[in-house]
Amino acid sequence: MYDVHALTRDLVSIPSHESEAAVGDFIEDWLREHTDTTVTRDDAGADEGRGGNVLARKGSGDTTLALVGHHDVVPPDDEQRREDGEYVVEERDGRLYGRGTADMKGAVAAAMLAFREADPACELVFASFVGEEVGGVGAQYAIDQGFAPDYAVVGEGSTGYSGEGVTDVAVAHKGRRGSTITARGEAAHASEVGQGENAIYRATDAIDVVRDLEFPSTTVLGHEMQGSVAVTEIEGGSAWNVIPERCAVTVDERTVPGERADLDRVEAIAGVEWTVDQDLPPMACGDADFADAVLAAADAAQDGSPEHVVKPHATDAGWLAAAGTDCVICGVAEPGEAHTATESASLAVIERCYDVYRDVAESFAG
């Protein structure tokens, strides 16, 4: 009989930064052994050896609710990995330390157990995706293959937003659009300025446009969200005595649901083009009743008073929301824990998330 602490330790100990296949095997085998449900494995990330998403279904009804996580992690620091390649997992002071404890194998373990134990009020799906840390590879693949739950609780971090130790419910998060402004000119000797077209000057004109853009903003279930736009890198020129013929500028934009900055305005400048390199979608829950139901479950699971909050970071919930699923985020990780050399998760909060997920699965029927 697995408890949520033991299951988290098992998941965290299995390396999944280069390939998620081994931990995916573990999740699949556990679900087949410990549940009497339909378990499937797809081919997401097959060309990179990621091992595919793991999904399981139980229950019935007109509404489908998914408990969603991911089992890939960012590369560990040296102290987070043993000589044999497995991850170091340590428990102390009520917390579990190791790569992936917070982001997000603790929540995956909680969802696995909740899926097993729940007597769902609707069709219940467990889904753990690959490739979340590299842009949502698994989520996008699953959606392309027809994965379309009506509702989803995504187990990314929502603890510690409204108050220390409180597990909140995020009803929205920002997206990220990374893009490049490329300015082209004509090279010439620097002693003959008039013979060339300075690409850096054109790039700085484009930067002035970016600096004057209004940040995108919106409101989600009464919560104000504001995005941002920032130039983060610039590269150009070939030598101190050559008029530069090319200059590239990187722009980081944090997007909000339904709104984008007018970055294409830079293309009004001669010799300037703008290209999008990455576009991770934002998320907004469109069903207040669902958001309230998850908040009620979170409230019942703890002494603190959870709130609806918004997150600054993109997650797989963005891809699901863009495909039509109403999502909220409720999970273990606290701000500042994920991707760190001292990553850890509260064991009490992992237990709490199990309670929340099971409560929602058994009480929400759509």
pLDDT in tens, 226-281: 999 999 999 999 999 999 999 999 999 999 999 999 999 999 999 999 999 999 99
Same domain, 259 and 315: no
Radius of gyration of the chain (CA): 23
Predicted confidence at residue 2, as pLDDT, reads 61
Count: domains in the chain: 2
Does residue 159 register a pLDDT over 60? yes
CATH of the domain at 185: 3.30.70.360
Per-residue pLDDT band at 1 (split at 50, 70, 90) = very low
Percent of the chain at pLDDT > 90 equals: 97
Same domain, 272 and 309: no
Calculate mean pLDDT across residues 174-194: 96
pTM exceeding the 0.75 threshold for the entire prediction: yes
CATH of the domain at 76: 3.40.630.10
Query: Residue 189, Cβ neighbours under 10 Å: how many?
Result: 11
* Residue at token pair 């697995």: 2
CB 163 within 8 A of CB 172: no
Separation between Cα atoms, residue 258 and residue 246, nearest integer Å:
33
Predicted confidence at residue 84, as pLDDT, reads 87
HEC string for 174-235:
CEEEEEEEEEECECEECCCHHHCECHHHHHHHHHHHHHHCCCCEEEECCEEEECEEEEEEEE
Predicted confidence at residue 252, as pLDDT, reads 97
Per-residue pLDDT band at 366 (split at 50, 70, 90) = confident
Same domain, 164 and 57: yes
Same domain, 252 and 318: no
Calculate mean pLDDT across residues 154-168: 97
Same domain, 94 and 220: no
Same domain, 202 and 287: no
Same domain, 106 and 210: no
| The domain boundary residue, chosen from 279, 305, 327 | 279
What are the residues whose beta carbons fall under 8 Å from the beta carbon of 287, sequence distance 6 or more? Answer: 151, 326
| The domain boundary residue, chosen from 233, 263, 279 | 279
Separation between Cα atoms, residue 291 and residue 63, nearest integer Å:
15
Predicted confidence at residue 83, as pLDDT, reads 86
What are the residues whose beta carbons fall under 8 Å from the beta carbon of 337, sequence distance 6 or more? Answer: 102, 103, 157, 343, 344, 345
Same domain, 295 and 357: yes
Across the chain, mean pLDDT equals 96
Per-residue pLDDT band at 85 (split at 50, 70, 90) = confident
What residues make up the domain containing 10? 4-174+282-363
| The domain boundary residue, chosen from 253, 279, 305 | 279
Predicted confidence at residue 353, as pLDDT, reads 98
Same domain, 19 and 161: yes
